[in-house]
Structure 1
């Protein structure tokens, strides 16, 4: 959103619609947020919270991983390639998707951290080096390694919608 348009919209929200916006969803480098907040368009007593757009969070994660692969390639370190465990474009896409789901579906910071570690370790696991110590256990676990002895199967990848969120 352009900074000027955001400023006008926020200033008019109270007089035109009798609405006070309290949350600003931004894309990480939003100039609009930086322009609106100091204006205090909803009054001195209203604090405007900043929320990051999940699409942009995932996009930045993917960009960072692709840049890491390129930087390592320039230094002679191979992260990408066709070998098992390589950081390919498909693996990066999968990791960024699961990263976003971990953030959205977690109730606490600790749950979010554990879910992020679970997807990273699970996706880099091999038969010779299983890495499932962070994967969720129990009836609703999506980890096929931990569920291999169970009769009820849970699908992988984790669901797009959070089961515990309404």
Structure 2
């Protein structure tokens, strides 16, 4: 795409918008498609970077699932990070939302973005020195709201959360967010493509190209553009079919208008909350999952001996060494010869024929 842009479209792509989990940018820099005089810069997608906050905080559940933290009263010890006054699923979702709001509200202001990210962490640690002052502040403590109640997150949990905020407030990372770029338009086109050609079903190259072409037509023109495709294929396109396609476009426009209403946004938040709770429950069962910027990372839980995969590998190795780990006897033991008198039962006596005479018949057949 980069190599043929000048030949086909007479333009140069000078900005690469990535999601953090691809090595394509390094390949483009090495190829130098426009020579040494044109510099290609990289910009990260805000949406993908925002997801990293939730992903890295949820990873703490898996990495520290065996850690023992005393309760606030000090009377008992709780195992893991999911619990009252700890890193709950609701807290993770709220921190991810706050992180995205900070990035979008400080486009072009990197120092202010760093300060606002630090304020998120310090506010939950009951340190309000980084929170904005005044009556218009979002911080109830700084604006003197009587309903303010201090956070009760335990210090051990805050100590585990601090490296995550330090990584996501790195100056190099935030520098790539100053343009405010997103991949929303790309994701919208991809959803139209995979709706016609699902990822989980094998498809040939021709089907993928045809699905992509139909998705581009619908994205740029609408459903009415399919009428031109039918006409070019020699399929009879009547006025009825055109009216049906126009109705689909009108229905889509009405749906977009409904998405801007307050009631629709409220229902969408409820659905997102239910989806997040289901995903958080799956995080407790899975040792690894897809994450933005996660390619190339080594999951520590997969290397630790306490992981389920490691236990399965140890069982398999011990089984191959001749040490059975289950109650089922080893298959090789069936080939060992033992005296018949010790293992085999005595042969059953032959049955007496139904029509034989008792005086002539004997078990030995003699």
Alignment TM-score > 0.5, same fold = yes
| 1:95 Cα offset (Å) | 0.9
- CA displacement at 1:120 relative to structure 2: 1.9
Distance across 1 between alignment mates of 2:8 and 2:136:
47
1:12 — aligned with what? 4
Gaps of 5+ in 2: 70-79, 146-179, 181-366
Does structure 2 conserve the Cα–Cα contact (< 8 Å) formed by 1:58 and 1:96?
Answer: yes
2:98 match: 98
Query: 1:79: which partner in 2?
Result: 81
CA offset at residue 137 of structure 1? 1.7
Deviation track 1:83-126 (CA, whole Å, cap 9, x = no partner) reads 23x2111111111221222233324332122101112222x25x
3-state SS of 2:13 partner: coil
The ranges of structure 1 where at least 4 consecutive aligned residues each deviate by more than 6 angstroms after the TM superposition are none
Structure 1 residue 145 displacement after superposition:
2.4
CA RMSD of aligned residues (A): 2.2
- Give the TM-score normalised by structure 2: 0.34
**Structure with greater proportional helix content:** 2
C-alpha distance in 1 between matches for 2:67 and 2:47: 30
> How many positions carry a matched residue from both structures?
135
TM-score (norm 1): 0.70
Offset at residue 76 of structure 1 (A)? 2.6
Flag the structure with more relative contact order, 1 or 2, with Cα contacts below 8 A and sequence separation at least 6: 2
Sort the Cα spacing of 1:36 and 1:132 in 2 relative to 1 into closer, same or farther, 3 A. Answer: same
Tell me the CA shift for residue 140 of structure 1: 4.2
Return closer, same or farther for 1:146/1:133 CA change in 2, 3 Å cut-off.
Answer: same
* Distance in 1 (alpha carbons) for counterparts of 2:62 and 2:22: 27
Q: How do residues 27-66 of structure 1 correspond to structure 2 at under 5 angstroms?
A: 27-66=19-58
Within the alignment, does 1:118 sit opposite 2:119 as a pair?
yes
Is the contact made by 1:102 and 1:116 (CA closer than 8 Å) also made in structure 2?
yes
Structure 1, unaligned runs of 5 or more = 1-8, 150-164
Q: Is the 8 A contact 1:21 1:42 kept in 2?
A: no
Checking the alignment, whether the CA contact within 8 Å between 2:136 and 2:143 is kept in structure 1 is: no
Residues 61, 96 of structure 1: 8 Å contact kept? yes
